[in-house]
C-alpha cells in the first residue's frame, strides 16, 4: 500500500507525484476495530474523526463515534442533537456518544462487580475522585476501558475515538500499562490485562495523528510519533495532513507573472481587463508563496517520519462553517486516500 504526496510547488503539472511505501501488509484505518484520532488543537481532529466514522458507516460498517472531551463538536459536524454517554444512532449505521467518567464508572460497577447503581453514585464518586487524584491513570482507565469494552463485546465493527489532543493522548493510551506495572494481582490487574491485549494488537487498534502543513503541528506530530513508539503499545496507523493547499500555478505560470508585473505590461493588461490587475496578481503570488512554505513543512514531515507510517492528505475546503455537508466532503477525500 502506498500513499501519494501532493506535488511540490513548481514541480510542474505533468510530473509524477512522490510515493511512500507504507510497508507490506500494513492495515488501513478501516481494517481495524478501534481507531484513536488525535492532533494539536485547531488542526481539524474532530472533523477527521467524524468523517472517518461516517465513511465507515457509509461503507456498511456498524460504527461507534466517541467524543472524549464532550465539547459537542461531533453533534455540530453531524448536524444532530447533543450526544450523551448512552450511544444513539445519529445516521444509518453510525452511533455517537460522549465520554462521562462518572457514567463510565457506574457502568463498570454494574457490569463487572454486579453492583446496582441508581442515580448519582454519591460517596462512591467522591472516593473515586480521591483515588483518581492520588493514582494517575485511574480516570484514564475508565475512558479507555469503555472503548476497549465495546471492541471486546463486538457491539460495533469499528469504534472511532475523537481522542484527547496531542498533549494528553499519551497518558490515556499508556494508562492500562501504567496500572499493570503498579498492580500485580487482583481484579484491577485482570481488567487492565485484557485492555492491553486489545490496545497492543495492531490488527485491532491504531492511532491516527492529524496535522496541518505548518511548523508547530508538524513538530508536535513528529514528537508524538516518537513518544507513541516509546511509551505506549499502540501502533501509529497513519498521519493525516489536513488543509493542504492545491497547486494552482506551476513554474511556467510564475514566469509569466514576472513578465506581466512590470509597469508597461500591467498598464496594457489594465486596458484589456478594464480594471487594475494588481490585486489579482498579488493574490496569485501569495497563493504560490503559501503553498511553497507549507510544502517545505510537508517535506520535513515525510523526511523525519517513519516511512512505514502511511501519510494521507486532505485538501483545504475553503469553508467557513462546518456541518454534515462538509463532513461528507472530508469523508469522500479520506475514502480516496485510503483506496490508494
Tell me the CA distances in angstroms from 253 to 231, 262, 269, one per residue in order: 48, 15, 16
Rounded CA separation 148/199 (Å): 8
Q: What is the pLDDT of residue 119?
A: 47
Among the residue ranges 31-45, 115-129, 245-259, the one predicted with the least confidence is: 115-129
Q: What is the pLDDT of residue 258?
A: 66
Q: What is the pLDDT of residue 319?
A: 84
Do the Cβ atoms of 6 and 20 come closer than 8 Å?
Answer: no
Do the Cβ atoms of 232 and 266 come closer than 8 Å?
Answer: no
Q: Rounded to two decimals, what is the model's pTM?
A: 0.80
**C-alpha angle 157/158/161, rounded to 5°?**
155
Averaged pLDDT score across all residues of the chain: 81
pLDDT classification of 18: cutoffs 50, 70, 90: very low
Do the Cβ atoms of 72 and 83 come closer than 8 Å?
Answer: yes
Check pLDDT > 90 for residue 120: no
Among the residue ranges 16-25, 27-36, 193-202, 265-274, the one predicted with the least confidence is: 16-25
Percent of the chain with pLDDT over 90: 53
Rg over alpha carbons for the chain, rounded to the nearest Å, is 24
Pick the CATH number of 2-249+306-338 from 3.40.50.300, 3.50.50.60, 3.90.1150.10, 3.20.20.70: 3.40.50.300
What are the domain boundaries of the chain? Answer: 2-249+306-338
3-state SS, residue 190: helix
Do the Cβ atoms of 148 and 179 come closer than 8 Å?
Answer: no
Other C-beta atoms lying within 10 Å of the C-beta of residue 112: 13
Buried residues in 262-274 as b, exposed as e (16+ CB within 10 A): eeeeeeebeeeee
Among the residue ranges 12-26, 28-42, 133-147, 282-296, the one predicted with the least confidence is: 12-26
Q: What is the pLDDT of residue 193?
A: 84
Q: How do residues 57-74 score in pLDDT, each as one tens digit?
A: 999 999 999 999 878 789
| Continuous segment of H or E residues that includes residue 237 | strand 236-244
Pairwise pLDDT comparison (268 vs 95), residue with the higher score: 95
Task: List all residues 6 or more positions away from 201 whose beta carbon is below 8 Å from its beta carbon.
Answer: none
Rounded CA separation 216/167 (Å): 13
Give CA torsion, residues 245, 247, 248, 249, to 10 deg. 140
pLDDT classification of 250: cutoffs 50, 70, 90: low
Phi, psi of 35, deg, nearest 5: -125, 120
pLDDT classification of 16: cutoffs 50, 70, 90: very low
**C-alpha angle 299/2/31, rounded to 5°?**
120
Rounded CA separation 34/233 (Å): 14
Q: What is the pLDDT of residue 264?
A: 67
Q: What is the pLDDT of residue 267?
A: 67
Amino acid at each position: 500500500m502506498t500513499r501519494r504526496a501532493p506535488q511540490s510547488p513548481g514541480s510542474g503539472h505533468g510530473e509524477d507525484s512522490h510515493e511512500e511505501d507504507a510497508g507490506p501488509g500494513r492495515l488501513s484505518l478501516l481494517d481495524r476495530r478501534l481507531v484513536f484520532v488525535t492532533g494539536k488543537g485547531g488542526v481539524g481532529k474532530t472533523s477527521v474523526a467524524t468523517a472517518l466514522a461516517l465513511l465507515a458507516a457509509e461503507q456498511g460498517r456498524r460504527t461507534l463515534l466517541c467524543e472524549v472531551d464532550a465539547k459537542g463538536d461531533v453533534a455540530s459536524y453531524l448536524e444532530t442533537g447533543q450526544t450523551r454517554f448512552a450511544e444513539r444512532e445519529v445516521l444509518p449505521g453510525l452511533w455517537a456518544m460522549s465520554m462521562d467518567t462518572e457514567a463510565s464508572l457506574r457502568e463498570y460497577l454494574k457490569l463487572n462487580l454486579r453492583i446496582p447503581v441508581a442515580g448519582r453514585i454519591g460517596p462512591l464518586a467522591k472516593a473515586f475522585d480521591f483515588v483518581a487524584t492520588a493514582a494517575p491513570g485511574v480516570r484514564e482507565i475508565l475512558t479507555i476501558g469503555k472503548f476497549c469494552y465495546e471492541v471486546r463485546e463486538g457491539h460495533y465493527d469499528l469504534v472511532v475515538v475523537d481522542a484527547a489532543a496531542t498533549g494528553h493522548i499519551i497518558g490515556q493510551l499508556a494508562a492500562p500499562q501504567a496500572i499493570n506495572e503498579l498492580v500485580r494481582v487482583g481484579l484491577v490487574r485482570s481488567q487492565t490485562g485484557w485492555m492491553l491485549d486489545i490496545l497492543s494488537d495492531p490488527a485491532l487498534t491504531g492511532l491516527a495523528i492529524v496535522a496541518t502543513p505548518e511548523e508547530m503541528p508538524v513538530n508536535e506530530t513528529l514528537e508524538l510519533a516518537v513518544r507513541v513508539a516509546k511509551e505506549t503499545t499502540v501502533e501509529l496507523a497513519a498521519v493525516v495532513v489536513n488543509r493542504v493547499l492545491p497547486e494552482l500555478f506551476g513554474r511556467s505560470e510564475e514566469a509569466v507573472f514576472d513578465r506581466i508585473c512590470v509597469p508597461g505590461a500591467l498598464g496594457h493588461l489594465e486596458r484589456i481587463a478594464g480594471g487594475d490587475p494588481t490585486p489579482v496578481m498579488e493574490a496569485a503570488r501569495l497563493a504560490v508563496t503559501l503553498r511553497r512554505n507549507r510544502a517545505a513543512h510537508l517535506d520535513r514531515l515525510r523526511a523525519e517520519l517513519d516511512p512505514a507510517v502511511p501519510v494521507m492528505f486532505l485538501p483545504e475546503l475553503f469553508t467557513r462553517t462546518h456541518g454534515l455537508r462538509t463532513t461528507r466532503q472530508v469523508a469522500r477525500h479520506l475514502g480516496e486516500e485510503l483506496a490508494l
